[in-house]
């Protein structure tokens, strides 16, 4: 009698264990594969440099500081390495704001991108007042001084930024006031010289040509930039990579196939050629709905999948800011915002979780 009760209990126990196991294996959510960590940890586990553009005056804000050092392992100066800040007069260099970023990066084990040396915006008045004939010398001494200051500490420099016209028909130039740096549609001498000069001063930094709307093969501007870069690389100009800024809109789905085809042709230019994603943001028409935030998340994740597929030619994935609170988007694209991974209160958005998932 006692033995029968025991046997009955024993089978009952086995029955419950088997039932729970079947239930768990069939219906319960599966535990994630691999470690679940911050975006920074997940990116590091895949050798991706996950970056953000920063403003050093915000490091004193606790949430900014915490999010920055927990979630990112690469920094770029949103503004303070640009010529108007760093070289305010012909004889003065102002390195203190940029050095705050260098120290912060060092203290938190991060790498830094340099941005930007030769660009038509945020140029100080003393430079715009110069005649074209003096600009090459100005550019040379600027690059010498800035690269010497940061020598050995910069992962990659945007040596040249946004030199192709929006219509893709040629280089920006001073004939139509779109850039002070070149004096005709075909004058690329200052661009080539910028790369030679940068290489001579800091042989270790990767030298990048950066632009926007240049990511998809088949657009006039992307094709123009590619053909220029192919010509320069073929002629031995020391260009190590191209930057795709990727200031995108949630409402227009990127042509991922054309982006891959563009990366294919760039990395065929020479062994080790880099394609960097340098200024990603995906703006949404405000107020952002849940479905728009979800769609934005899939754009971010698809870009990360492309980066992972092209490793090690793609290792840099930088977003243009940390939080929607300080994003440049609302001030430049009226009615748009919500473009980054963290909302205005530093809460991670669907795009953040989608990136972590893509890296898993
Ligand atoms: C933007 C900054 O985010 C703003 O704060 C500033 O007022 C203007 O410049 N392409 C670039 C970046 O290469 O330097 C720009 O940054 C955004 C577009």
Q: Which atom of ligand 1 is nearest to the CA of 162?
A: 13
Active site residue 286: no
Q: What is the mean pLDDT of the chain?
A: 92
For position 101, what pLDDT does the model report?
A: 99
78 lines ligand 1 (CB under 6 A): yes
Find the angle CA(244)-CA(78)-CA(97) to the nearest 5 degrees.
Answer: 145
Kindly give the distance from the C-alpha atom of residue 78 to the centroid of ligand 1, in angstroms, as a whole number.
6
For position 184, what pLDDT does the model report?
A: 81
Q: How many CB atoms lie within 10 A of CB 239?
A: 26
Kindly give the distance from the C-alpha atom of residue 327 to the centroid of ligand 1, in angstroms, as a whole number.
10
Query: Which stretch of 46-55, 60-69, 172-181, 228-237 has the lowest confidence by average pLDDT?
Result: 172-181
Please identify which of the residues 71, 78, 162, 292 carries the catalytic annotation.
162
Q: Would you call 156 helix, strand, or coil by DSSP?
A: strand
For position 225, what pLDDT does the model report?
A: 98
Residue 9: which pLDDT band, with cuts at 50, 70 and 90? Answer: low
Tens digit of pLDDT for each residue in 92-109?
Answer: 999 999 999 999 999 999
Kindly give the distance from the C-alpha atom of residue 245 to the centroid of ligand 1, in angstroms, as a whole number.
10
Tens digit of pLDDT for each residue in 15-52?
Answer: 444 444 444 444 444 444 444 689 999 999 999 999 99
For position 11, what pLDDT does the model report?
A: 54
5 alpha carbon, distance to own chain's centre: 68
Find the angle CA(313)-CA(47)-CA(99) to the nearest 5 degrees.
Answer: 95
Q: Please determine, for residue 4, whether its predicted confidence score (pLDDT) is greater than 70.
A: no
Tens digit of pLDDT for each residue in 271-320?
Answer: 999 999 999 999 999 999 999 999 999 999 999 999 999 999 999 999 99
For position 33, what pLDDT does the model report?
A: 45
Report the percentage of the chain scoring pLDDT > 70. Answer: 90
For position 36, what pLDDT does the model report?
A: 64
151 vs 25 pLDDT, higher one: 151
79 lines ligand 1 (CB under 6 A): yes
161 lines ligand 1 (CB under 6 A): yes
Kindly give the distance from the C-alpha atom of residue 77 to the centroid of ligand 1, in angstroms, as a whole number.
10
Q: Please determine, for residue 128, whether its predicted confidence score (pLDDT) is greater than 70.
A: yes
Q: Please determine, for residue 6, whether its predicted confidence score (pLDDT) is greater than 90.
A: no
304 alpha carbon, distance to own chain's centre: 11
Please identify which of the residues 71, 215, 250, 279 carries the catalytic annotation.
279
Give me 232's structure tokens.
Answer: 């320069």
- Written as one string, the DSSP assignment of 104-151 is HHHHTT-EEEEEEEE-SSS--HHHHTS-GGGHHHHHHHHHHHHHHHTT
CA nearest ligand 1 atom 3, residue: 328
Active site residue 292: no
Give me 107's structure tokens.
Answer: 């203290």
């Amino acid at each position: 009698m006692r033995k029968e009760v025991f046997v009955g209990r024993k089978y009952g126990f086995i029955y419950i264990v088997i039932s729970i196991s079947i239930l768990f294996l069939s219906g319960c959510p599966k535990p994630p594969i691999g470690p679940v960590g911050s975006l920074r940890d997940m990116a590091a586990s895949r050798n991706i440099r996950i970056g953000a553009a920063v403003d050093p005056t915000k490091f004193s804000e606790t949430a900014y500081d915490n999010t920055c050092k927990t979630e990112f392992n690469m920094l770029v100066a949103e503004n303070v390495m640009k010529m108007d800040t760093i070289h305010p007069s012909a004889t003065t260099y102002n390195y203190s704001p940029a050095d705050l970023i260098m120290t912060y990066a060092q203290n938190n084990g991060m790498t830094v991108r340099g941005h930007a040396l030769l660009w038509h915006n945020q140029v100080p008045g003393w430079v715009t007042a110069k005649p074209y004939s003096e600009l090459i010398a100005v550019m040379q001494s600027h690059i010498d001084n800035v690269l010497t200051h940061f020598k050995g500490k910069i992962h990659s420099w945007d040596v040249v930024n946004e030199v192709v016209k929006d219509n893709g028909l040629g280089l920006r130039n001073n004939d139509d006031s779109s850039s002070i740096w070149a004096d005709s549609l075909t004058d690329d001498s200052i661009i080539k010289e910028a790369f030679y000069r940068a290489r001579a001063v800091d042989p270790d930094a990767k030298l990048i040509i950066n632009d926007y709307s240049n990511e998809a093969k088949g657009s006039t501007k992307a094709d123009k930039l590619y053909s220029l870069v192919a010509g320069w690389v073929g002629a031995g100009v020391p260009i190590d990579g191209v930057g795709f800024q990727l200031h995108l809109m949630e409402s227009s789905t990127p042509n991922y196939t054309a982006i891959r085809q563009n990366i294919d042709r760039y990395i065929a230019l020479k062994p080790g050629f880099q394609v960097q994603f340098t200024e990603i943001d995906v703006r949404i028409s405000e107020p952002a709905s849940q479905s728009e935030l979800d769609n934005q998340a899939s754009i971010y994740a698809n870009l990360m999948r492309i980066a992972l597929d092209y490793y090690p030619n793609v290792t840099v994935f930088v977003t243009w800011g940390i939080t929607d609170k300080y994003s440049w988007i609302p001030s430049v694209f009226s009615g748009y915002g919500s473009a980054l991974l963290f909302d205005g209160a530093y809460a991670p958005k669907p795009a953040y979780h989608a990136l972590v998932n893509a890296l898993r």
